[in-house]
Structure 1
Amino acid sequence: MRQPFNTFSKLRYLIAMIVGFVWVVQACTNHASNTADEESLPDVVSYNFDIRPILSDKCSACHGPDANKREAGLRLDVPESAFKALKEHPGAHALVAGKPELSQVFLRISSQDTSTLMPPVNSGLKLSTREIKLIEKWIKQGATYEKHWAFVAPKKPALPEISQKDWPKNEIDYFILQKQEQKGVAPNDEADKERLLKRLSLDLTGLPPSLAMMDQFLADKSANAYETAVDKLLKNPAYGEKMALHWLDLARYADSHGYQDDGYRTQWPWRDWVIHAFNKNMHYNDFVTWQLAGDFLSSPKGWGGPGTPDKEQLLATGFNRNHKITEEGGVIPEEYRTMYVTDRTDLFGKGLLGVTMECAHCHDHKYDPFSQKEYYKLFAFFNNVKEIGIESVIGGPDTYAKKPLMEICDEDVKDLLSFVNKLDTNKLIVSVMTDLDTARKTFILKRGVYDAPGDEVQPGTPNAILPFNESYPKNRLGLAKWMFDKQNPLTARVYVNQLWQEFFGKGIVKTPGDFGMQGELPSHPELLDWLAVDFMEHGWDIKRLVKQMVTSATYRQSAVISQEKLRTDPDNKYLARGPRYRIEAEFVRDLILSSSGLLNRTIGGPSVKPYQPPGLWEGATSGRGLLSMYVQDHGDKLYRRGMYTLIKRTVPPPSMAIFDASNRDLCEVRRLKTNTPLQALVMLNDPTVLEASRVLAANLLRENSGVTDKINKAFRLIVSRKPSEKETAVLTTYYENELKKLDKAHAEKALAVGEYPIPKEVDKVKLAAMMRIVSTIYNLEETITKT
């Protein structure tokens, strides 16, 4: 008998219908998702670019190079281990080429049983559906392993085929455009001439273009106008200063020894040499070899006679004496000496090879194929320096440099070291590198502890990168030869990537200090290899490489971003627009001083102490030595470029620290880029910014021109373009309003900043009003942004 269709039955029926509908929708969604995943898989799965990143992120902690952390005796990063029978289940294999159904790796990562699922549930790691399907497809295709891409010597690929053949300016653009066409994006038009010149001038000199340069470039209608501007800027002495800044970060240059006493050091002649080397276009192989091993070179003008290094070659080795050095009593000398050697080794790995060798200091590297033994073989190259852990306590001029050292006399500056800006006849000493006559023994340090020596090791290099050629001397000169061996896979790639980062905001490899398994994959691997090989083929010529980058169509694009590009490529990975980011801290200062007319353009010399809030040093010091109290400089020293500001490691310059400058404790190959309210407060209140506003305002008021012309000129000097009519109108109105409300008392208060004298004949009310206009322009976001 049919039951009545009551309310309860209706409800149950409705629930069943809903559940069924949801099941169908989920099934369809899963099918669509799986289909989309299948479609997004590459035709040929690459171990390097598809599989290794998954293993590094999700598996290597337990199944990677670190034997101490390895589970079940299984190592997945090398085929010898991955294909052999499992230790705990001899009848099973982690991988069976062509057969995912027999491969325990695939069975475990795709298991629905949480007791066998890998990675374990409690690890917090989980593979996505796409990652599982990638591994499955890779196994089906034979599970072919490849050596890590960064440890294979680069080969120069052919230029790729592109559709838009009229866009490229040079070879770089073919690689960039090919990727854009693959991803369905199109490059921006070239930036307008004003913005393009500002970008170029900031990138090549760290300074804004002058009015004369702007007018000349705008007036030049020739086809090679841009290249002419590039060549002119490359010859500007400020180019060496701009290029040196990144190297100072990498080399951890500072003006103090560090640690608690943090005494003064005179390492600035090495900085002068770096600027000089970039300006004379010293090629990268010589530039680095001199810094690593200048004390092993020979010269007719040798310091100790012909066949020994000259003083310039020796000065270059100050590169590896920039590390922190203690002057505190009570320390254990051998502990600190070991720390110095460790610092040099870690700098070599991160700064010059782009790998995290420091991770192997205490144990085998957990992700990269570097053993602890190999770390200490590299350590051995830097372990023979004639130094001790603590040489002397903080004091007078004799402690400004630590042995081994070199004295620079007035005769040196007249002759070989003419680039050193020695301002007086006082004794000038610099820490350099020289080795012991008999090699110091090097041991593996158990857990990295200085007093726990293990097995003795000889100088050597990581085999995974390039075995050390036994024909090379087993000293730092041999290490430099190994670095510039054409088969070394890292040296050229790493520096090319660092330079790319300087001009485009981030490297082709986004992690410039980590080309290893945990680093980012290159966004354009073929371009990176092409540039690296081309760099080597042309003698490691830095200026040529710089010109290649800045003359490319890729570099010249407008930075304007559409909503579509913001949605499809928010990080500008495919470089379909020009770079846009805040300039470095030192260049913020340089732009302000240069545009105001205050900049002291002297190159080199001792570091200076500009305006700084009182009490900072005094509140963070042991109370001993030359740097126990901040004694501000005066006169022209107040207006030196930002790179010459004295860096005391324990209390770095505050305004520059707020703009993300390095405190130079350790090697730094990439600065953070932040945007904080403190940065806006610096631009509004820093004495240098306010003084520059006042000085530029006074210069404008003394000119025989109208208010509008004065405002337009200020805008061009600071922003490097002509203002729009609306911008001029807003600023003019602001000036007129300030004139009305300011009285003499308020004007004098506003003008009472900085030491540069106020012209006696100027109207102080007008000066204060114009000063506020200039300050407003300095505080525009566009002013300190590279666009």
Structure 2
Amino acid sequence: MPLARLLFAVSAVLFPTIPATAEEKVDFARDIRPILSNACFKCHGPATQKAKLRLDDRAAAITQGALTPGKHADSELLRRALLADDDDGRMPPPGVAERLTADQIAKLKTWIDQGAEYPPHWAFVAPKRPTPPDPKHPPLNTIDRFVFARLEKDGLAPSPEADRATLIRRVTLDLTGLLPAPKEVEDFLNDDSPRAYENVVDRLLASPHYGERQARHWLDLARYADSNGYTIDGPRHVWAYRDWVISALNADLPFDQFTIEQLAGDLLPNATLQQKVATGFHRNTPFNEEGGTDAEQFRVERTVDRANTTAAVWLGLTAGCAQCHDHKYDPVSQKDYYRLYAFFDSCDEPTLALGGSPEAEKRIAELSAKLASARLVGADDEAKKLIEELKKVQSQVPTTLVIRERPKPRQTFVQVRGDFLRKGDEVQPAYPAALGATPAGRLTRLDLAKWLVSANHPLTARVTVNREWQKFFGRGLVETENDFGLQGNFPTHSELLDWLAVEFQEPTPNPSPKGGEQGEEPTPPAPLPEGRAEFARGASAPTASVNERVSGPPPPSGRGAGGVGWSFKRLHKLIVMSATYKQSSAARHDLTERDPRNLLLGRQTRLRLEAEIIRDVSLSASGLLNPKVGGPGVFPPQPKEVFAFTQSNHPWVESTGPDRYRRGMYTFIWRQSQHPLLTTFDAADAQTVCTKRNRSNTPLQALHMANDPVFVEFATALGTRIEAEGPSDDAGRIAFAYRVCFAREPSTAEVARVQTYLDAKRKADPKTAWAAVARVLMNVDEFITRE
């Protein structure tokens, strides 16, 4: 027997194949594709086929002898993986990937013996509604049925429900980004009705601050900032778009309409001012104002950014990898990329007047057109004069940045190696080939937007509900929330993800008017008195300063908060009403040992609050919060030295009066010199799309909370509030302070420790004793953590 055959036979003993039973069938997407993708595709994939061998295509792999379905012993793929001991012969070669493990080899053998099938990538197949399992542990809703069944499969049980104080603080922070008021906590704790928690959820969903909290996440995707970026980093007027997002989310504008208006509101029939404002989504790209630059180069870069952002937000794909060459792993060719790019290649970038005299609006339109022309031909001196004139007119008329289709489309070409000066084949707007056929005719951004939210689209609903899940658990069901491609992670709960995706688009009828009871879905959230229908008709939304000047047609009948398709509020309520969400976050020995990263969701996750929300809860506790929603960015205090580290030369004129105490999302964002709170606590950089923020833990964060004059001011105000609103005795005031900061009562030990500290501070300076206590409480980890 040849040595290779002998060694291969020995390997079959060392690495026995798992029996090929239906129950143990190897899953290609979960078990095999990651092995091939990491170890093989770089040299034998769609872009490169060394030795004329291609392993990402089943037919090619079989033809070339790499695979013999049903017979792993005859498959060259396994021989190379198992037998070659020398660096020249073994696969994958050193430096490309690690040598395959025994477990990986066993999986490959079983897969080949079971037929070596290559089903389509799971994320590229439209989700179907699976049948929910029936776990032993009683669920509250369908989400729990999937989660509890998975825990039981692994021999685990869910954690008990968190105590009521933790629940109301958790859900208030998640839905509004603010602390619950002591009276709200007290009312909830004293409410024994079955609907007590659901009533809290409905109240929060109807709050004008709900839209602010959810908009903060969306603005990360939109790369929102109040300046242009690059060296000059001049200011821009685009806050009306930010206010549109807040109002749309408060009104529960269905996500399909939310998508269409942002990507193509200007192309809708009889487009309203509101729908044009929505296209500000793609005016959040950085803009280079430097003299001597090539205007076409940076127009191309903005168009690239729009294509990449659209793919990341709605498709969850790293399409930008195909800008210079075919994608190394995903079925996205360079031609596919420039077909997507072509949808945005004919966008003009006007300034839209939101009010004022017709003459002023006309003048703004004229100046915007002249400025675009001047930049296009590189007339820098003329452009500077036009910018100054435009600023003068804009100072008298509220404006915003939007996109608009050119009367005559540009020709779009593949850019050879990503170089806009090297034109390849001409292309037309089209959808990525792997995701479906493109209809005939010249397509527009409106066609693209409608396709993204069309029935049976495989990605949009999955990608969206996965990001929404991430908000409430810190991690998506697909951990690589920005990559649903072949290199992305497999879902931890694939059936739950698909059920949520279908439910988001086409919810099941509510089985009972009694929401939240065991085994039933919660009732849909009640719409605001001035909810989504009024928003769509153009009435002034209760929270947005711009909407009194914008309007739009009503969306499709029967959509939104009433409990049917594409409703964020309904999805959020479904999640926060689940027993899965309401679990305690306390660590458990069995979970730490068997599921240390909590992928199986056997408990809730403790999450440090985002940068803006840290400011918000501090303002909320201090009593200084200005609850106004919407309007231009504000300038809270910051160190004067911030701009010394940049080339920006823009003054930071501190806001006074109520504007000094606005929520963190209204802080003016200079791209090149963000407010220190934002950079210290990992805010998005506003340069590119951000699908998930980092969460670092640094000494600077503790120093910022303890010593920043802003937070000292907040603590001083909280100290005053404790004395003014709390009882007259120390113990009562300490308890009040804990209810304000943590929504709970202090333990006996905590009361004793705070009392000792308070007594010591009184001896040193009686006037600041309670401010000192407040400063301590605001620097406890629990204060900036969502349990």
- Give the structure-2-normalised TM-score: 0.85
Q: How much has 1:120 moved relative to structure 2?
A: 1.4
**Which residue number corresponds to residue 483 of structure 2?**
514
Matching residue within 662, 672, 676 for 1:654: 676
Query: 2-side partners of 1:523 and 1:263: how far apart?
Result: 44
The answer as to 2:289 corresponding to 1:327 is yes
The answer as to 2:422 corresponding to 1:460 is no
Q: How much has 1:442 moved relative to structure 2?
A: 0.2
**Which residue number corresponds to residue 366 of structure 1?**
328
Q: Once the two structures are superposed, what CA deviation does each residue of 1:293-343 show, in whole Å capped at 9, x if it has no partner?
A: 000112xxxxxxxxx211000000000111001110000111001001000
2:767 partner letter: L
Query: What secondary structure sits across from 2:782 in the alignment?
Result: coil
Whether the 8 Å contact between 2:38 and 2:97 is mirrored in structure 1 is no
Matches within 5 A, 1:146-295: 146-164=119-137, 166=138, 168-295=139-266
Query: 1-side partners of 2:746 and 2:386: how far apart?
Result: 52
Matches within 5 A, 1:547-566: 547-566=573-592
Instruction: Calculate the aligned-residue CA RMSD, in Å.
Output: 2.2
Matching residue within 437, 450, 453 for 2:420: 450
**Which residue number corresponds to residue 678 of structure 1?**
700
**Which residue number corresponds to residue 100 of structure 1?**
72
Q: How much has 1:581 moved relative to structure 2?
A: 1.3
| Structure index of larger Rg | 1
Q: Once the two structures are superposed, what CA deviation does each residue of 1:508-562 show, in whole Å capped at 9, x if it has no partner?
A: 0111110001111111010000110111113111111110111001000011111
**Which residue number corresponds to residue 778 of structure 2?**
778
1:357 partner letter: A
Count of aligned residue pairs for this structure pair: 690
Whether the 8 Å contact between 2:17 and 2:107 is mirrored in structure 1 is no
Query: 2-side partners of 1:396 and 1:232: how far apart?
Result: 51
Query: What secondary structure sits across from 1:617 in the alignment?
Result: helix
1:237 partner letter: P
Shift of the 607–401 alpha-carbon distance from structure 1 to 2, 3 Å rule, reads farther
**Which residue number corresponds to residue 524 of structure 1?**
493
Query: What secondary structure sits across from 1:776 in the alignment?
Result: helix
Q: How much has 1:42 moved relative to structure 2?
A: 7.1
2:233 partner letter: D
Matching residue within 109, 115, 119 for 1:142: 115
The answer as to 2:732 corresponding to 1:709 is yes
1:82 partner letter: A
Query: What secondary structure sits across from 1:456 in the alignment?
Result: strand
Q: Once the two structures are superposed, what CA deviation does each residue of 1:424-448 show, in whole Å capped at 9, x if it has no partner?
A: x832221111111111000000011
**Which residue number corresponds to residue 720 of structure 1?**
743
Highest relative contact order (Cα 8 Å, sep 6+), 1 or 2? 2
Matching residue within 593, 608, 619 for 1:567: 593
**Which residue number corresponds to residue 439 of structure 2?**
469
Shift of the 698–36 alpha-carbon distance from structure 1 to 2, 3 Å rule, reads farther
Matches within 5 A, 1:286-435: 286-298=257-269, 308-387=270-349, 388=372, 390=375, 398=387, 426-435=396-405
Unaligned runs of 5+ in 2: 1-10, 350-371, 507-563
Q: Once the two structures are superposed, what CA deviation does each residue of 1:92-129 show, in whole Å capped at 9, x if it has no partner?
A: x0101111111110111011432321111343521110
Query: What secondary structure sits across from 2:63 in the alignment?
Result: coil
Query: What is the identity percentage for the equivalent residue pairs of Structure 1 and Structure 2?
Result: 43
Q: Once the two structures are superposed, what CA deviation does each residue of 1:226-260 show, in whole Å capped at 9, x if it has no partner?
A: 11110010001000000000100000000000000
Shift of the 463–593 alpha-carbon distance from structure 1 to 2, 3 Å rule, reads same
Shift of the 469–275 alpha-carbon distance from structure 1 to 2, 3 Å rule, reads same
Query: 1-side partners of 2:646 and 2:254: how far apart?
Result: 41
Whether the 8 Å contact between 1:194 and 1:218 is mirrored in structure 2 is yes
**Which residue number corresponds to residue 514 of structure 2?**
none
Query: 2-side partners of 1:350 and 1:383: how far apart?
Result: 18
**Which residue number corresponds to residue 37 of structure 2?**
56
Q: How much has 1:58 moved relative to structure 2?
A: 1.2
Query: 1-side partners of 2:179 and 2:389: how far apart?
Result: 35
Q: How much has 1:136 moved relative to structure 2?
A: 0.6
Whether the 8 Å contact between 2:254 and 2:568 is mirrored in structure 1 is yes
Unaligned runs of 5+ in 1: 1-29, 86-92, 299-307, 409-424, 743-764
Q: How much has 1:34 moved relative to structure 2?
A: 5.4
1:661 partner letter: A
Query: 1-side partners of 2:60 and 2:388: how far apart?
Result: 55
2:733 partner letter: K
Q: How much has 1:716 moved relative to structure 2?
A: 1.0
Matching residue within 719, 728, 735 for 2:758: 735
The answer as to 2:607 corresponding to 1:581 is yes
Q: How much has 1:622 moved relative to structure 2?
A: 4.7
Query: What secondary structure sits across from 2:781 in the alignment?
Result: coil
Matches within 5 A, 1:680-695: 680-695=702-717
1:774 partner letter: A
Q: How much has 1:782 moved relative to structure 2?
A: 1.0
Whether the 8 Å contact between 1:697 and 1:767 is mirrored in structure 2 is no
**Which residue number corresponds to residue 303 of structure 1?**
none
Matching residue within 618, 635, 646 for 1:609: 635
Query: 2-side partners of 1:231 and 1:381: how far apart?
Result: 40
Runs of 4+ in 1 over 4 A off after TM superposition: 30-42, 391-402
Matching residue within 51, 58, 67 for 1:72: 51
Query: What secondary structure sits across from 2:433 in the alignment?
Result: coil
Query: What secondary structure sits across from 2:53 in the alignment?
Result: coil
Query: What secondary structure sits across from 2:643 in the alignment?
Result: coil
Q: Once the two structures are superposed, what CA deviation does each residue of 1:200-241 show, in whole Å capped at 9, x if it has no partner?
A: 000000001011110110010111111111001000100000
